[in-house]
Structure formats: structure tokens, C-alpha cells
Amino acid sequence: MIGQLALAALIALAGAGPALAHARLLHAIPRVGSTVKIAPRDLELSFSESIDVGGSSVTLLGPSGRVATGPLTRDPADPRIVHVPVKRALPPGTYRVEWGMTSTDTHHTDGDFSFKVAR
């Protein structure tokens, strides 16, 4: 009897794998670790799951501190892609993007990456 209950529990948990996942950053524009010649006017972050922008945040830090950004928006064609408008031209330097995303299944994950704007 106990063996059957344990087997049933394992089967139930095995099926729950994808539902328990967290959104992973798949790629970004500008690319993670890249050097760009033209400063971006918009950051694009692509995740492995659909994102709830209401429970998510992105902070852009530059050589002089925090950079003003507009509100996060989901891409109308793909709810896994988040756009972040940059409110001013970025001077040359290294920038760090810190993100905290809540997927539509309510799991939260965070991370960061850097890119450079060339002189």
C-alpha cells in the first residue's frame, strides 16, 4: 500500500515539472555581454515563459547611476518578450540591466546582465 502511494506521488510530481518552472532569460537586445556602436532606445528581453509585466521590473544602471526607463510592455506578438523604453540617449560606457520577472503562472525569478556602448 505504501509503495503504491509513493509511486502515485512520484507520477503526480513528474507531471508538475513544467508548471513549477521559472522564466529564464533566453536572449536580450542588446545581447548579453555585447558592445554596441549605437545606443539602444529600447531594451528587449526574451524569456522562456509568458511574463506578467505588472509584477515585473527592469532597472538600467550606467556609469553615472540609474538610467530613466519607461514602463515595461509585453510584445503584442509574443507574451514572452518584454520591451523597456530608454528615456534618454546613453553615452558610451558599461551598462547593467537588473531584471525581476514574474511569469503568468506567478513564479518570480531575477537576474542581470551587462552590455557596453562603444565610444
Q: Is the pTM of this model over 0.95?
A: no
Name 74's Cβ contacts closer than 8 Å, sequence gap at least 6.
51, 53, 81, 82, 83
Angle at 38 between CA 118 and CA 114, to 5 degrees: 60
Of 101, 99, 68, nearest to 85 by C-alpha is 68
Amino acid at 89: A
**Beta partners for 99?**
58, 111
Distances (CA, A) of 3 to 7, 10, 15, 52, 104: 6, 11, 19, 40, 36
* CATH class of segment(s) 22-117: mainly beta
Q: One digit per residue, pLDDT tens: the chain, 119 residues?
A: 555 544 444 444 444 444 456 899 999 999 999 999 999 999 999 999 999 999 999 999 999 999 999 999 999 999 999 999 999 999 999 999 999 999 988 999 999 999 999 98
